[in-house]
Structure 1
Amino acid sequence: MADTKQGDQHTEDKAGRKAENKASKLAKQIQAFSQEHGGAEGHLAHLGQMGTRIVLVGQDGFWGDLVAPTHEVAERAAEKAGLTLHDAFDGEFAAKVRTGPYEWSRMAGIQLGGPSND
């Protein structure tokens, strides 16, 4: 009978390397956003099976997001990038977000004559 433990370990090692590579790539993107916007803070939001959204808010009020395949990868990316994470997207943290006409029209949608969300 073949020893499957060695095959399982190889698969786990490969998955671990893939996750670490993804975390490193996301960390570089977080750092680039942070540099462009005078620093950044973040929040991790679960997307279910799709992964975890890393919401970024720059010191200048601009915001963006990235999606990690798992919560663990998102946490690792934030850690590698030195990103301060908030437990919730509310209060003072949410108040830092600057929205423009595009966001307001998208939020209003067809109710106020803005573009639909189709």
Structure 2
Amino acid sequence: MSSAETATPAATDARTERRAKRIAKHLTSFAAQHGGSAEGVVEYVGRTATRIVVVGADGAWGDQVAPTYAVGVRAAELAGLTVHDSFEGELGLRVKTGAYEWKRMAGIQLGG
């Protein structure tokens, strides 16, 4: 048996909480640096990972990857993020992109 199979629910919950707190610190720091508040989306990335896309009050954006959806949702909650169901509409329109993003998108389109 692996250690994951023998872990108690309490041990699993404690581990989830520790991971979420660590990620929440990064999200809180990002929000503080970009206008004091942030909004985001928690979305699955494959089977085992979750991406938290965060948008600051000033339109800057970033992301954090969590090992599970539960950790991602809990981290967003601990950080005080306003969580949206999708990255469309008003949240997407608030994102400010710079030269790097435009160059990268053009490179992808041109096969670079």
CA distance in 2, matches of 1:29, 1:50: 21
Q: Which consecutive residues of structure 1, in runs of 5 or more, have no partner in the other structure?
A: 1-6
Which one scores higher on RCO, CA 8 angstroms, separation ≥ 6?
Answer: 2
Q: 1:14 to 1:37 in 2, by over 3 A?
A: same
Partner-residue secondary structure (3-state), 2:47: helix
Q: TM-score, normalised by structure 1?
A: 0.82
Q: Which has the larger radius of gyration?
A: 1
Alignment match of 1:68 (pick from 44, 66, 73) = 66
- Aligned counterpart in structure 2 of residue 31 of structure 1, from 28, 31, 35: 28
- The SS at the match of 2:95 is coil
Alignment gaps of 5+ in structure 2: none
Q: Which has the higher helix share?
A: 1
What is aligned with 2:80? Answer: 82
Question: Which residue of the partner structure matches residue 92 of structure 1?
Answer: 90
Whichever residue aligns with residue 50 of structure 1, its letter is T
Task: Determine what percentage of the aligned residue pairs are the same residue.
Answer: 50
Residue of structure 1 aligned with 2:107, choices 103, 106, 109: 109
**Residue identity in the other structure for 2:21:** S
Say how many residue pairs are matched: 107
